[in-house]
Amino acid sequence: MGFVKIGSSSAEVADGSEIRETCESLGILIACQEGVCGTCEVRVVKGKENLTPPTEAEKVMGIDLKGGKRLSCQCRLKHGTVELTQDSL
């Protein structure tokens, strides 16, 4: 088990699980769930290595992967803790 942390809130996530529902429960807007709209874009503050590699959808969207951005609807937690932030929060 690991944790997703956004601001001062966090929630437990099973290893290998999608983080989409957890992020949504912590205040991240999830619209399309397919990786095509970009509303769930977050910046990984800590724990980038604890997420699965970027998906093809994330690469096609052209988000700043090198700058630590990801689409939360596309990520799975490998293990450990990941801390995220979103500009609109």
Contact 23, 4 (CB under 8 A): yes
Strand partners, 44: 84
- What is the reported pLDDT for 88? 58
Locate 49 and state its tokens.
Answer: 């290595």
Domain 2-85 has CATH 3.10.20.30: yes
pLDDT at 20 over 80: yes
pLDDT in tens, 49-79: 999 999 999 999 999 999 999 999 999 999 9
Burial 49-84 (b: 16+ CB within 10 A, else e): ebbeebbeebeebebebeeebbbbbbbbbbeeebbb
Sketch the domain layout of the chain as residue ranges. Answer: 2-85
- What is the reported pLDDT for 33? 87
Q: What is the rounded distance in angstroms from the CA atom of residue 78 to the CA atom of residue 43? A: 17
